[in-house]
Amino acid sequence: MSAQQLVLRQRAELVQALCCGGTAEPLDSVLDLLLSWSAFEWEDYLNVCCGTAKTLCSRSRELLDLAYSKGDDACCHLLTAFHQVLPDAQKDTLNFGSTYTAQKSQEGEISATLTLLGDRPGLVTKLRNSVDEALDELVQKGFLTSSECEDIQLPVHTASQQVRRLLDIVKFKGEGAAKVLLQFLQKSQIEAVPQPTNEKLIIPTSVAEYQKKLCSSISAQSHFLSTYSPTGRFSLDDVYTEGLLELGQQGCGNTTLVSVTLEDVVGATGTVNVEADTVLVSGEAGSGKSTFLQRLHQLWARKTVLQNYLLLFPFSCRKLNTEHRELSVKDLLFLHCCWPDGDQEELFQFLLDHPHTVLFTFDGLDEFKQAFADDQRHCSPTQSAKVPVLLFNLLQGSLMKGVRKLVTSRTEAVSFTLRPYLCKEVLLKGFSPDGIDCFVKKHHSDPGVASRVLQSLQSNTALLGLCHIPVFCWIVSKCYKELLGFSSTGPQTITDVYLMVLQHFFHRRISSGKTSGKSWLQEHFRTIMALGKLALQGLEHSHYIFSESDVQNLGITEEDIGKGFLIQNKNISLDTKHYEFLHLTLQCFFSALFITLDPSNNMHSIIPRLFQTPSSSMGCLGICHPRKCDQPGNEPPNHEITSMFVSGLLSPCHHSLLLQCCPIQTLQRKCKQVMKCLSKGMHNHFKSIPQPIKGEKKSMHAMPAFIWLIKCIYEMQDSELAKSVMAKLEAEHLKLTYCNIGPLECTALAFVLQHLKGPVGLQLDSNSVGDVGVEQLLPCLHVCRSLYLRHNNITDEGISKLVEKGVECEAFQKIALFNNKLTDACAQHFAYLLKTKQNFASLRLGNNNITAAGAEQLAEGLRCSPSLRFLGLWGNTVGDAGAEAIAHALEDSQTLEWLSLVDNRVGDAGAQALARVVEKSSTLKELWLNNNSITRCGVEYLLQALERNSTVTALWLTGNILSQEEVEELSIRESRVTF
Ligand code: ADP
């Protein structure tokens, strides 16, 4: 019988089923489901719901009639909805036919409004206990009025009905309101995500024994760092230094970077996709991803962290590259991680039954030979498949759903295809300044040596900038003797640092004291070239692990290996030896040496390929160049590092060294080639800048390749090249937001940008510039008309240096420092800036920690500024005293146009003082005072002042202490005020 017939035949029973309880809840729940499945249009829903005078029975009949008139499909949906909503006892007597299975919505962008509709039944349950909070949020964000709230909260409505009314109103308010509600839900949901608990879990003996074995194997594997020989004196415990971990961009305009701990990385914090199991830890090469994972493994094995995970399976993507067999997940786990001595079946069944107690980690997805793809489904944990298929299905969650997967990768290598399967992204940003300090002290047990190393870093800020990346910090610490031996500048570029480590390794091994009269490069030329060839061949085929025969075929001897650049990888096979470079960056460096020093023509053809810029259509975030299996030389992250080294080696600074082993013609030709590639790359970049819209500045948004090209130019240390490249840039504004810019990149940027033809706006918001980065930027401050450094971990110390230089830079007129780590101590510097620089126009210091004391200091400068037009202090705590000080200082300003003291605990006294600014000013256009504690009394001062002011166009006062009646009354009096 068709669904339509079933509805008709059972009409009376169905109506009865909906009405017998006397509440509208079953009917409303059925409607929720029909809406979410798109079986009913919004109009249908309103038809059934509208008219409060209708009885429950008449609404139920209308529902049935409507479904019937819509046809068989709608009736099938209706019966399914009844089946889901009615209690079992009521279902016995009804025939539901074959019920409809809800499909998961198609992938791709769907609007927030549609998401709310699709999730409606679930939302009713989820929001039931937090309607008031949700309403508050919507009111605060300006999407609901208080009378709409009161209407929703009428006590005649049940909590579920209140949610439904809320959802209905939000739908009509549109996308903005829907987004706010979704964000609210996400926040509250994340807070409520239950942590898997192992209480009451009965652990079979086979699992307990396996856990023990796994722990001891992981413990042994994680004891030493691979960059320190196992016989060395350092264990991971000795040298591990916490790196900076930050949650990735949350989308939806949330730009706050949140720091997280090691445990948070795996936990619920920062979850953006609750359906996904995979957490990504991303960072650049050498930022400490593998070491972080190693620490996590070690602490888990010691039962110090993540004890809700009974079993942890560590994988290395490098090693997975060497697995060519077809395997099942079960085989993969046992063969690659730890072989079970007990009952395999029972153990594996336990994993399947308790996925939430299991953690898989995959180190170095960027080194996996094949780029992530989601086109091949494989769901069976016991059926065999190729390793890439297994890995990709694990990450997607189609295999072993519920098991937490933690994967590390270089940021540039994360594909857009993978992103939808990520539960969250955590960025590993290397060491903080304190981290560098701590690392150096751990590395040198002699405090005297440690402090000399740190001193020499302080005097070479370019090198200090590099040390934020742990692998460079390690090299610098390792080569401390060479470092302390430098009389003047010391290493400046990454290439300098790697040349230093090369010499260090070679010298360390020269014990005989024999000197042949040759330079170190000549003496070790054969070894360097053999290792270089191995490195390059590896990169071209995504090989990071080399067999003994790979090594021998290139004439690499035991003695060469003994130099220490290659280390043995003991995890591949017990029978034969396998080697890898000490770190990927070292493999890239040896490749670069080979490319630079090998005289054959092949190397000339490699250079243009190496410097090929990716399509300029790609955005700065989530950059990806699709990798294809076995496609040689198609790995941008490796390309980028290698080409940087090639640029560095071809720098005029190193010509005399290289000429010892390379004919001058070859060197010159390659040098020319690289310079041409860099110029062309930058030029292409500039050409892609769109023409400005009329009235706007010509603005350049950085494409992924921009920072890389800048870094290559810096490595070359060729100011003439920088000058000639910059001569072609026409933009007036450079936007480099979210580009992963740390101190190292700042050094390179300043080296190049200082040659700009005229002043620009430099926008570096949401990067990791920090105080060291600020210092590195100073050489280009004279070409910055405005400098945007929002969200950049900058403290008062950085500001002190910035201002010291800033006062000397005529063009420098605007600075934005929203959301940094500034305190009252920064105010004296800004006061000095305002007093000294008589053309300074804009100071934005929102969301820092400035109190009344800071405001009072700042006022000293404000009073003397003949030019300040914009002052932003949103989200500080200056209070009444601070507002009064600022107001008094600005009373006679002839230039102030815009002032914000939003969210600053300003009360009536502050308002009264600010009213005098309004009254006296003939330039002020906007005054922002939302979210303060101003009452009617304070508002009166402001309104009276407005009566005598004709320049102000907007005064913002929402979120102050006013009743609804007061708002209504005051709104009529002055149209320029928004309450
Ligand atoms: P990535 O995996 O991001 O390329 P690694 O974890 O291999 O970087 O780090 C490279 C080197 O830097 C390590 O071998 C180690 O010497 C040093 N290092 C990285 N992170 C840390 C840390 N947290 N503490 C101490 N040393 C570290």
The pLDDT tens digits of the residues spanning 169-181 come to 888 888 888 888 8
Q: Tens digit of pLDDT for each residue in 12-62?
A: 888 888 877 667 788 888 998 888 888 888 888 888 876 556 777 888 888
Give the pair of three-digit tokens for residue 53: 């005078």
Give the pair of three-digit tokens for residue 460: 């070479």
Question: Are 977 and 957 a contacting pair, CB within 8 Å?
Answer: yes
Rounded to 10 degrees, the C-alpha dihedral 183/152/40/84 comes to: 80
Nearest protein Cα to ligand 1, atom 26: 240
| 443 Cα to the center of ligand 1, angstroms | 13
* 804-825 average pLDDT score: 96
Q: pLDDT category, 193, cuts 50, 70, 90?
A: very low
Q: pLDDT category, 231, cuts 50, 70, 90?
A: low
Q: Among residues 328, 393, 324, which one has the least CA distance to residue 362?
A: 393
Question: Are 901 and 928 a contacting pair, CB within 8 Å?
Answer: yes
Rounded to 10 degrees, the C-alpha dihedral 564/569/570/571 comes to: 160
Nearest protein Cα to ligand 1, atom 20: 288
Q: Which of 222, 261, 291 should be mutated for ligand 1, with most atoms under 8 A from CB?
A: 291
Question: 3-state secondary structure string, 64-130?
Answer: HHHHHHHCHHHHHHHHHHHHHHCCHHHHCCCCCCCCCCCCCCCCCCCCHHHHHHHCHHHHHHHHHHH
Residue 758 has pLDDT above 60, yes or no: yes
645/643 Cα distance (integer angstroms): 5
**CA–CA distance from 348 to each of 340, 407, 837, 963 (Å)?**
10, 22, 71, 64
605/516 Cα distance (integer angstroms): 35
Instruction: List alpha helices for 194-280, DSSP H.
Output: 205-221, 236-239, 262-266
CA atoms within a 13 Å half-sphere pointing along the CA-CB vector of 973: 15
Element (H, E) at 282: strand 278-283
Nearest protein Cα to ligand 1, atom 4: 286
> In 3-state terms, what secondary structure has residue 660?
coil
Question: Using a CB cutoff of 8 Å and minimum separation of 24, what contacts does 32-35 make?
Answer: 32/120, 32/121, 32/124, 32/164, 33/77, 33/80, 33/81, 33/84, 33/85, 33/120, 33/121, 34/67, 34/74, 34/77, 34/78, 34/81, 35/117, 35/120
* 768-787 average pLDDT score: 96
Q: What is the pTM of this model?
A: 0.75
Q: Tens digit of pLDDT for each residue in 248-299?
A: 765 433 445 577 888 889 988 888 888 889 999 999 999 999 999 999 999 9
478/442 Cα distance (integer angstroms): 12
928 forms beta bridges with: 900, 956
> In 3-state terms, what secondary structure has residue 314?
strand
Residues 6+ apart with CB under 8 A from 34: 40, 44, 45, 67, 74, 77, 78, 81
Chain centre to alpha carbon of residue 403: 23
Q: How much of the chain exceeds pLDDT 90, in percent?
A: 49
* 495-499 average pLDDT score: 93
Residue 972: exposure state from Cβ atoms within 10 A (0-12, 13-18, ≥19): exposed
Q: Among residues 501, 463, 495, which one has the least CA distance to residue 481?
A: 501
Residue 621 has pLDDT above 70, yes or no: no
Question: Are 670 and 638 a contacting pair, CB within 8 Å?
Answer: no
> In 3-state terms, what secondary structure has residue 277?
coil
| 471 Cα to the center of ligand 1, angstroms | 5
Map tokens 């297994």 to a residue.
390
Ligand 1 within 6 A of CB of 594:
no
> In 3-state terms, what secondary structure has residue 401?
coil
Q: What is the pLDDT of residue 240?
A: 93
Ligand 1 within 6 A of CB of 854:
no
Nearest protein Cα to ligand 1, atom 25: 240
3 forms beta bridges with: none
Q: What is the pLDDT of residue 485?
A: 75
Question: Are 682 and 728 a contacting pair, CB within 8 Å?
Answer: yes
Strands across the sheet containing 870-872: 699-701, 733-735, 760-763, 784-788, 814-816, 842-844, 870-872, 898-900, 926-928, 954-956, 977-978
Q: How far apart are the first and last CA of the chain?
A: 62
Give the pair of three-digit tokens for residue 863: 């009073």
513/518 Cα distance (integer angstroms): 13
Ligand 1 within 6 A of CB of 583:
yes
* 405-418 average pLDDT score: 88
Q: What is the pLDDT of residue 102?
A: 65
Ligand 1 within 6 A of CB of 471:
yes
Give 405's DSSP letter. E
Map tokens 């194997």 to a residue.
217
Give 286's DSSP letter. T
Nearest protein Cα to ligand 1, atom 14: 227
Amino acid at 530: A
Ligand 1 within 6 A of CB of 243:
yes
Atom of ligand 1 nearest to the CA of 292: 23
Q: Which of 293, 298, 471, 740 should be mutated for ligand 1, with most atoms under 8 A from CB?
A: 471
Strands (E) located in 593-654 = none
599/604 Cα distance (integer angstroms): 9
Q: What are the DSSP calls for 697-736, one per residue? A: --EEEPPHHHHHHHHHHHHHT-HHHHHHHHTT---SEEE-
Q: What is the pLDDT of residue 628?
A: 39
Number of Cβ within 10 Å of residue 376's Cβ equals 12
> In 3-state terms, what secondary structure has residue 682?
helix
| 470 Cα to the center of ligand 1, angstroms | 5
Find the range with the poorest average confidence among 8-17, 607-616, 716-725, 751-760: 607-616
541/87 Cα distance (integer angstroms): 61
**CA–CA distance from 172 to each of 165, 180, 777 (Å)?**
11, 14, 49
Q: What is the pLDDT of residue 141?
A: 82
Element (H, E) at 912: helix 908-920
Ligand 1 within 6 A of CB of 440:
no
Q: What is the pLDDT of residue 251?
A: 42
Q: What is the pLDDT of residue 868?
A: 97
More confident residue, 206 or 848: 848
Q: Tens digit of pLDDT for each residue in 308-317?
A: 899 999 999 9
Q: pLDDT category, 94, cuts 50, 70, 90?
A: confident
Question: Are 243 and 435 a contacting pair, CB within 8 Å?
Answer: yes
Phi and psi angles of residue 546, each rounded to the nearest 5 degrees, phi first: -120, 140
Ligand 1 within 6 A of CB of 289:
yes
Give the pair of three-digit tokens for residue 858: 């700042």
> In 3-state terms, what secondary structure has residue 598?
coil
Nearest protein Cα to ligand 1, atom 15: 471
| 239 Cα to the center of ligand 1, angstroms | 10
Residue 629 has pLDDT above 50, yes or no: no
814/844 Cα distance (integer angstroms): 8
Ligand 1 within 6 A of CB of 224:
no
696/690 Cα distance (integer angstroms): 12
Ligand 1 within 6 A of CB of 850:
no
Q: pLDDT category, 7, cuts 50, 70, 90?
A: confident
Q: pLDDT category, 194, cuts 50, 70, 90?
A: very low
Chain centre to alpha carbon of residue 775: 24
Chain centre to alpha carbon of residue 711: 21
Q: What is the pLDDT of residue 692?
A: 63
Strands across the sheet containing 546-547: 546-547, 578-581, 566-568
Phi and psi angles of residue 699, each rounded to the nearest 5 degrees, phi first: -125, 140
Phi and psi angles of residue 851, each rounded to the nearest 5 degrees, phi first: -110, -170
Map tokens 């790609």 to a residue.
618
Q: What is the pLDDT of residue 189?
A: 61
Q: Among residues 725, 691, 692, which one has the least CA distance to residue 706?
A: 725
Find the range with the poorest average confidence among 227-231, 444-448, 939-943: 227-231
Give the pair of three-digit tokens for residue 783: 């070409």
449/470 Cα distance (integer angstroms): 19
Atom of ligand 1 nearest to the CA of 283: 3
Give the pair of three-digit tokens for residue 441: 């002290």
* 945-950 average pLDDT score: 95
| 701 Cα to the center of ligand 1, angstroms | 32
Ligand 1 within 6 A of CB of 296:
no
Give 860's DSSP letter. H
Q: Among residues 305, 304, 77, which one has the least CA distance to residue 195?
A: 305
Question: Are 808 and 780 a contacting pair, CB within 8 Å?
Answer: no
Ligand 1 within 6 A of CB of 227:
yes
* 588-604 average pLDDT score: 90
